[in-house]
Amino acid sequence: MAVGQGIFRRKPVEQIADETDEGLSRELGLWQLTAIGVGGIIGAGIFALAGAVANETAGPAVLVSFLIAGLASAAAALSYAEFAGMIPKAGSAYTYGYAVLGEAVGWFIGWDLLLEYTAIVAVVAIGISGYFGFLVNELGADLPAWMLGAPGTGDGHRVDLFAVVLCLLIAFLLTRGIRAAARFETFVVGLKVAVVLLVIVVGFFHVKTANYSPFFPFGVGGAITGAATVFFAVFGYDAMSTAAEESRDARRHMPKAIIWSLVVSMVLYVLATLVLTGMQNYRDIDPESGFSSAFASVGLSGLASVIAVGAIIGILTVMFTFMLGVTRVWFSMSRDGLLPGWFAKVHPVRRVPTRVTWIVGVGSALIAGFLPIRQAAELTNIGILLAFVVVCVAVIVLRYRRPDAPRTFRLPGMPVVPALGVIFSIWLITFLDPVTWLRFGVWFLLGAVVYALYGYRRSALARRDEDTTDRAR
């Protein structure tokens, strides 16, 4: 077979959907899946980005920024929902791209997500560590400088020990089995939503409508620019969709969970930003701890500490969702033969891929412990946006290639809605720092080498083609 044909070989959708499970345990119901999605979406967006964008970019129109970002994200979410109902398998964008656009496209999206999701786990761990340090200082404790941050982030800093421990704890939790892990995630997400609702309800009584004027202090352009920033706070359902094989009824539940998680998160985002910019003039909002400073400004400093604790809890669930996502993408790629099958082995009792979970846990811990947050953050974003592009393009292609294929959910507005998802994702990619492009290029080239030397000839489809050729002879 010619190389050009080989890299675009596709696994039929029906074959993927009907494959015998490789041992993953189907334990997740609709609300557990939704909780995982909400856990991945709500985090830094409310507790950090909202204040920063309001103060520096959009003013009270940060509300509009979230709405624009939410609508753009919805275009991708609906595309994911259609695929999730057709192909209830682990891997998400990797699996969808492989089935529709070919092996090479699937490989590179999967390869990108391995880095992106792992880096997100590390970045979130560093962020939580910062909140933890703040709370420890508030309690009057004095921790050794060597354990408070990565080298170069402060005098005497050697390692961000708390961030390292967090990554390893999340990995440990995920190796306990999906049922126990999902129960923990659902409980913590419930606490997080309760804190956000507390913020909204209490804050509502301290809103001053005069703070909403001017609503567009930076112009409409400021609100649009803000949308590019907060967009990274309105995805998470993509990582949740990697758990399709662990859903009890993925064809029905996954599309609903994707949509519900985005809807719930957007409602909370909108209400929270209204309260934040109503409590305090946008010029006075603290870019780093917007809600804590807003409540302190109205004499509710005690509640400000509760919000800080809520931020830690809220951001912790993001780590859970994205570590779950990267381990399932890795598992799926290994099961397809694109990476060694050793990684696809699951625990004989707990039925989870413990090997890749510990590898990701240690990898994210090393990034979190020894890289400053800015350098770690530069490893994120581009792969997820490219995954959105691939999924939106693939859903259009498959709708026209296989219009009669059974779908439990059909994306409305075809092809306009997914096309908007493609356009918005590409537009956001243009905002990324050149360093992000450089590091993505290095990772891309490394992936090309791995695929050429291993995946291209050892994938399940390659072996199938060789067997077919041998029989024909």
Confidence of residue 356 (pLDDT cuts 50, 70, 90): very high
pLDDT, one tens digit per residue, over 309-331 is: 777 777 788 899 999 999 999 99
Of the listed ranges 88-102, 310-324, 458-472, the least confidently predicted one is: 458-472
What is the average per-residue pLDDT within 242-264?
90
Mean per-residue pLDDT for 332-339?
92
Mean pLDDT of 383-394: 88
User: What percent of the chain shows pLDDT beyond 70?
Assistant: 90
pLDDT value at 66 more than 50: yes
**Residue 5: its pLDDT value, please?**
59
Banded model confidence at residue 466, pLDDT cuts 50, 70, 90: low
Please report the pLDDT score of residue 330 as a whole number. Answer: 95
- Work out the percent of the chain whose per-residue pLDDT is above 90: 39
- What is the average pLDDT across 412-422? 92
45-54, 55-64, 166-175, 187-196: least confidently modelled range? 45-54
Contact 415, 395 (CB under 8 A): no
Tokens of 86: 């057709």
SS3 letters across the chain: CCHHHHHCCCCCHHHHHHCCCCCCCCCECHHHHHHHHHHHHCCHHHHHHHHHHHHHHHHHHHHHHHHHHHHHHHHHHHHHHHHHHHCCCCCCHHHHHHHHHCHHHHHHHHHHHHHHHHHHHHHHHHHHHHHHHHHHHHCCCCCCHHHECCCCCCCCCCCEHHHHHHHHHHHHHHHCCHHHHHHHHHHHHHHHHHHHHHHHHHHHCCCCHHHHCCCCCCHHHHHHHHHHHHHHHCCCHHHHHHHHHHECCHHHHHHHHHHHHHHHHHHHHHHHHHHHHHHCCHHHCCCCCHHHHHHHHCCCHHHHHHHHHHHHHHHHHHHHHHHHHHHHHHHHHHHCCCCCHHHHCCCCCCCCCHHHHHHHHHHHHHHHHHCCHHHHHCCCCHHHHHHHHHHHHHHHHHHHHCCCCCCCCCCCCCCHHHHHHHHHHHHHHCCCCHHHHHHHHHHHHHHHHHHHHHHHHHCHHHHHHHHHHHHHC
Most confident of 312-326, 355-369, 398-412, 423-437: 355-369
Q: Is the pLDDT of residue 128 over 90?
A: no
The better pLDDT of the pair 377, 234 is held by: 234
Q: Can you name the CATH fold of 3-18+32-467?
A: Amino acid/polyamine transporter I (1.20.1740)
Higher pLDDT, 284 or 131: 284
Give the pLDDT band of residue 17 (cuts 50, 70, 90): low
- For residue 267, is pLDDT > 90? yes
pTM of the model: 0.86
CA 441 from centre of chain: 21
Kindly list the domain boundaries of the chain, sorted by start residue: 3-18+32-467
Residue 1 clears pLDDT 50, i.e. is over it: no
**Mean pLDDT in residue range 238-266:** 90
Q: What is the average pLDDT across 158-168?
A: 90
Instruction: Answer for the pair 394, 83: CB distance below 8 angstroms, yes or no.
Output: yes
More confident call, 228 vs 470: 228
Q: Is pLDDT at 255 greater than 90 in this prediction?
A: yes
Residue 63 pLDDT exceeds 90: yes
pLDDT bracket for residue 174 (50, 70, 90): very high
pLDDT at 427: 84
Q: How confident is the model at residue 165 (pLDDT cuts 50, 70, 90)?
A: very high
Which among 131-135, 279-283, 302-306 has the top mean pLDDT?
279-283
Q: Which residue has the higher pLDDT, 165 or 226?
A: 165
Tokens of 168: 């390893």
Average predicted confidence (pLDDT) for the chain = 85
Higher pLDDT: 171 or 138? It is 171
Overall average pLDDT of the 330-351 stretch: 91
**Per-residue model confidence (pLDDT) at position 379:** 66
Instruction: State in Å, rounded, how far the first CA of the chain is from the last one.
Output: 14
Q: Does the structure show a pLDDT above 90 at 274?
A: yes
pLDDT greater at residue 192 or residue 313 = 192
